[in-house]
């Protein structure tokens, strides 16, 4: 399937949507129209030209989501440079490493993060620019970037004496097979690799999303997931910019309270989220209602239960702004109880599947076709899937994919690239699962997290954690193996503990009751021998997956 040229998608969109709002910084209430975005891009292109930036040069980008973050990303790729977005949660040492490993020549960075970096550790960077106003924060010895920045207004007037207009938008001619993005992963295994994504990989995601009829010209979308992550970048930024939609960038930590206020004000037409957000809303908004005695009685009365579920669904839809066509969940596995409940009340949600190495989308179903337990059908005409198993429909094996969205490889890491592809060219996802006859994917767990029991049974800790997280006073949990036994680490839900008047000293007794109840739901080889209280929340990736490798050798 031949994709549209990635860069020309945006050349066309900026021309056609010139007067429409494109990007709004929600906390500052500042908005850039598509025309203003294109004008800022033109200024940055003039800077690149004056500094003799070449095609294929790397531009690093690190900071919280903002309109200017988006402008830099788009300016780099439409010039023919390679953008290197770096997650702002990375440590200064990791940021130094990625800048150097990627051989980035320019760095666009938030002022706060720049204060934590050291110039002498990124000596090859020619210029550093602030994401708050694009001023030059630092230039390498011998460079005259700061002087050039002062001349930008004059350079713009010289090149566009009548002002920059839609007719002046002409972006580079770059074949779709060229790398446009280096995305450094932040997986749960602790190693960061530079994923090389081409124009074709990203166009595969964008053009497929455009066929789904979920987002249209003039629509609104609220972005509250980090744009440096492939999932959010593709569907909270690249797709809206391609169709002429308006993106509001939250720019804050997305607590349920802050999110619900933003949903009410913005009323987005499409919502992208990670499971943790919906799970928190379920736990805080819905579960307390369902736990009331009168509600439990009412739900056992035929006909009345469906009316109550319809009311709950309407309440939840209204709380999320009331105008969205669908909620797409991705980035991690969702709690099965939450999935089943949302499906039962006919809430319009679906769960997709992807990975950075596919830029990111692998499978998706419209919410009307969604099957609980699955994460959608493989993208027709774009991707193929197979299970490394002698019975892919019933016997779990590694999920392997190939197709338009699959990366070129890992940057400067031939060994890792070789390891992640099979000899016949399929990408090994590292996820375990099955498929059905419609090529719908069902994930069981990660091959790296699977535990082999003493009796030879496969144990998927994520499935046990999903059940444990629904028990009283459990905020989050992690199942690990210790001395051939399974132990669950639990960080308690202290807000609920305190609001219900439970003593912290009673938590070990409550957790022991939870362990007994949990084991009733598990096979004999999966049972938990002990629950240990963990003092803090577990460290997570930006996708909100727990960094499991940090706790594999945990002992109390």
pLDDT given at position 31: 98
At residue 191, does pLDDT exceed 80?
no
pLDDT given at position 188: 42
- What would the pLDDT profile of 87-115 be if each residue is shown by its tens digit? 888 888 889 999 999 999 999 999 999 99
- What would the pLDDT profile of 9-41 be if each residue is shown by its tens digit? 999 999 999 999 999 999 998 999 999 999 999
CATH 3.40.50.12780 residue spans of the chain: 256-446
Q: Which residues contact 315 (CB under 8 A, 6 or more apart)?
A: 285
- What would the pLDDT profile of 239-289 be if each residue is shown by its tens digit? 999 999 999 999 988 888 899 999 999 999 999 998 888 888 888 888 888
Pairing label, strands 246-249, 220-223: parallel
At residue 295, does pLDDT exceed 90?
no
Q: Are 272 and 50 in contact (CB under 8 A)?
A: no
At residue 455, does pLDDT exceed 70?
no
Q: What percent of the chain has pLDDT over 70?
A: 96
CATH 3.30.300.30 residue spans of the chain: 455-551
Domain 455-551 superfamily per CATH: ANL, C-terminal domain (3.30.300.30)
Q: How far apart are CA 230 and CA 272, in angstroms?
A: 13
CA distances from 168 to 68, 449, 520 (A): 21, 53, 68
Q: Topology of domain 256-446, per CATH?
A: Rossmann fold (3.40.50)
Q: Are 467 and 521 in contact (CB under 8 A)?
A: yes
Quickly state the pLDDT bin for 540 (edges 50, 70, 90). Answer: confident
pLDDT given at position 386: 96
Sign of CA dihedral 246, 251, 256, 258: negative
Q: How far apart are CA 223 and CA 159, in angstroms?
A: 35
Q: Are 515 and 530 in contact (CB under 8 A)?
A: yes
Q: How far apart are CA 309 and CA 343, in angstroms?
A: 10
Q: Are 299 and 345 in contact (CB under 8 A)?
A: no
Average pLDDT for residues 408-419, to the nearest whole number? 94
At residue 218, does pLDDT exceed 80?
yes
pLDDT given at position 189: 44
The counts of H helices and E strands in the chain are: 19, 27
Of 244, 168, 172, the closest CA to residue 206 belongs to 244
Q: Where on the phi/psi map is residue 105: left (φ > 0), alpha (ψ -120 to 50), or beta? A: alpha
- What would the pLDDT profile of 62-92 be if each residue is shown by its tens digit? 999 999 999 999 999 999 999 999 988 888 8
Of 198, 325, 196, the closest CA to residue 269 belongs to 325
Give the angle 486-491-493 at the CA atoms, nearest 5°: 135
Q: How far apart are CA 252 and CA 18, in angstroms?
A: 28
Q: What percent of the chain has pLDDT over 90?
A: 75
Q: How far apart are CA 221 and CA 214, in angstroms?
A: 11
């Amino acid at each position: 399937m031949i994709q549209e040229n990635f860069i020309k998608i945006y050349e066309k969109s900026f021309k056609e949507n010139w007067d429409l709002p494109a990007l709004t910084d929600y906390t500052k209430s500042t908005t850039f129209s598509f025309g203003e975005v294109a004008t800022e891009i033109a200024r940055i292109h003039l800077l690149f030209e004056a500094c003799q930036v070449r095609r294929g040069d790397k531009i690093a980008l690190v900071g919280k989501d903002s309109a200017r973050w988006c402008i830099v990303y788009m300016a780099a790729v439409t010039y023919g440079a390679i953008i290197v977005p770096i997650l702002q949660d990375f440590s200064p040492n990791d940021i130094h490493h990625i800048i150097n490993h990627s051989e980035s020549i320019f760095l666009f960075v938030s002022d706060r993060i720049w204060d934590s970096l050291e110039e002498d550790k990124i000596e090859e960077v020619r210029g550093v620019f602030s994401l708050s106003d694009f001023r030059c924060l630092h230039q390498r010895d011998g460079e005259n970037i700061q002087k050039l920045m002062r001349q930008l207004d004059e350079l713009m007037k010289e090149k566009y004496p009548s002002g920059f207009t839609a007719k002046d938008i002409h972006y580079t001619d770059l074949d779709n097979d060229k790398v446009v993005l280096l995305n450094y992963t932040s997986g749960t295994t602790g190693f960061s690799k530079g994923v090389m994504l081409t124009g074709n990989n990203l166009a595969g995601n964008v053009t497929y999303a455009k066929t789904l009829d979920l987002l249209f010209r003039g629509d609104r979308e609220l972005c509250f997931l980090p744009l440096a992550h492939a999932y959010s970048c593709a569907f909270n930024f690249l797709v809206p910019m391609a169709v002429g939609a308006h993106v509001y960038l939250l720019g804050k930590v997305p607590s349920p309270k802050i999110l619900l206020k933003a949903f009410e004000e913005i009323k987005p037409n499409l919502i992208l989220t990670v499971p943790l957000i919906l799970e928190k809303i379920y736990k805080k908004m819905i579960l307390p209602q369902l736990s009331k005695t009168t509600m439990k009685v009412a739900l056992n009365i035929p006909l009345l239960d469906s009316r109550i579920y319809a009311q709950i669904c309407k309440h939840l839809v209204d709380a999320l702004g009331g105008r969205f066509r669908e909620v797409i969940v991705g980035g991690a596995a969702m709690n099965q109880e939450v999935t089943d409940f949302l499906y039962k009340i006919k809430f319009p949600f679906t769960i997709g599947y992807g990975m950075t190495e596919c830029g990111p989308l692998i499978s998706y179903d419209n919410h009307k076709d969604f099957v609980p337990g699955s994460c959608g059908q493989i993208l027709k005409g774009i991707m193929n899937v197979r299970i490394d198993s002698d019975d892919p429909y019933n016997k779990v094996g590694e999920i392997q994919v190939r197709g338009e969205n699959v990366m070129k490889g890992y940057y400067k890491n031939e060994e890792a690239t070789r390891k992640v592809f099979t000899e016949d060219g399929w990408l090994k996802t590292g996820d375990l699962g099955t498929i059905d006859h419609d090529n719908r994917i069902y994930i069981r767990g990660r091959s790296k997290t699977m535990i082999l029991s003493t009796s030879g049974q496969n144990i998927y800790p994520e499935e046990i954690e999903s059940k444990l997280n629904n028990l009283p006073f459990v905020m989050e949990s992690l199942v690990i193996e210790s001395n051939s036994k399974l132990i669950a680490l639990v960080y308690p839900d202290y807000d609920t503990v305190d609001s219900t008047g439970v003593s912290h000293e009673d938590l070990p007794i409550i957790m022991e009751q939870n362990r007994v109840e949990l084991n009733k739901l598990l096979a004999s080889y999966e049972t938990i021998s002990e629950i240990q209280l963990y003092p803090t929340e577990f460290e997570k990736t930006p996708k909100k997956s727990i960094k499991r490798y940090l706790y594999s050798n945990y002992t109390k």
